[in-house]
């Protein structure tokens, strides 16, 4: 049980490390350089969304 748990942990660590290498979307660069007031993204920090509701 413990060994299985450790293996899970190692794989999660590797997976999250891969995610940390993700490049930012082009649209985000544009939003950073040309900010629009109340662009609708700000609230995400204070109002965590339910799973599955990110648009494709």
Partner 1 sequence: MSESDDFSRFVDAHLDLVYGFAAARVGRDVADAVVLDVFRSARHTVDRGEGEVLSRSWLLTRARNRILAHWRLVAERAESESSGDTPAREVRIGTDWDAERVLDALDRLPAAERAVLALRYLEGRPVAEVAHMIDRPHATTQQLLEKARRAFHALALPTAAPTAAPV
Contact between 38 and partner 1 by CB under 8 A: the answer reads no
Cβ 30 to partner 1 shortest distance, Å: 10
Alpha helices in 1-56 (DSSP H): 2-19, 26-33
Contact between 50 and partner 1 by CB under 8 A: the answer reads yes
Contact between 45 and partner 1 by CB under 8 A: the answer reads yes
Q: How far apart are CA 11 and CA 7, in angstroms?
A: 6
Residue 43's nearest CA partner among 34, 53, 33, 56 is 53
Contact between 2 and partner 1 by CB under 8 A: the answer reads no
CB 15 within 8 A of CB 25: no
Residues that bind partner 1 (CB under 8 A): 3-5, 7-24, 28-29, 31-33, 35, 39, 41-46, 48-52, 54
């Amino acid at each position: 049980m413990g060994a299985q748990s450790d293996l899970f942990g190692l794989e999660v660590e590797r997976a999250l490390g891969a995610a940390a290498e993700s490049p930012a979307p082009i649209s985000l660069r544009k939003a950073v350089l040309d900010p629009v007031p109340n662009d609708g993204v700000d609230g995400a920090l204070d109002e965590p969304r339910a799973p599955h509701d990110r648009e494709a």
